[in-house]
Amino acid sequence: MQISELSTQQISGAVALWERTGLTRPWNDPYADARRALETSTSTVLAIIEDEKVIATVMVGHDGHRGWLYYVAVDPRRQGAGLGRKMVEAASDWLTERAVPKVQLMVRNENKAVLKFYQRLGFEDQKTVVLGKRLGAKS
């Protein structure tokens, strides 16, 4: 099962997967998220494509110190077969190749069920409160 960088032509397939897996939110433009990640040298979107369909993704990026994962998703019909683990490992390798020492991610409060998945992969609660504020950037 090959993991490769998403092409711009495949963005709509990735967004369809993110919608199917409940990862999109009205205040985020997932097309712009994917485009920006692909255009920027410190980020990318990795994917598994099968029969021209996007079945698994992870968006990965870093600021030199920390690597972040977003849009970790596996097609509901393919979940439970190790693909989620493969995507997180591929993103972690991508960061390691760039000498980034740490990987982390945010889990929405309403998605706490997924914490067990990350715990199986060795992730730990960082006992940190994440604060945020929306800026007026145009996408």
Residues of this chain that interact with ligand COA (CB under 6 A) are 21, 23, 72-74, 79-85, 107, 111, 113-114, 116-117, 120
Measured CA to CA, the distance from residue 91 to residue 100 in angstroms comes to: 11
At closest approach, how far in Å is the CB of 12 from ligand COA?
Answer: 18
Given the complex with ligand COA, which of 11 and 83 has the nearer CB atom?
83
At closest approach, how far in Å is the CB of 1 from ligand COA?
Answer: 11
Given the complex with ligand COA, which of 77 and 138 has the nearer CB atom?
77
At closest approach, how far in Å is the CB of 114 from ligand COA?
Answer: 4
Task: Give 73's contacts (C-beta < 8 A, 6+ positions apart).
Answer: 17, 18, 21, 23, 56, 57, 58
Given the complex with ligand COA, which of 1 and 32 has the nearer CB atom?
1
Measured CA to CA, the distance from residue 91 to residue 109 in angstroms comes to: 23
Q: Which two tokens stand for residue 37?
A: 């990640």
Measured CA to CA, the distance from residue 11 to residue 57 in angstroms comes to: 11
Nearest CA among 85, 97, 87 for reference residue 122: 85
Given the complex with ligand COA, which of 18 and 138 has the nearer CB atom?
18
At closest approach, how far in Å is the CB of 28 from ligand COA?
Answer: 13
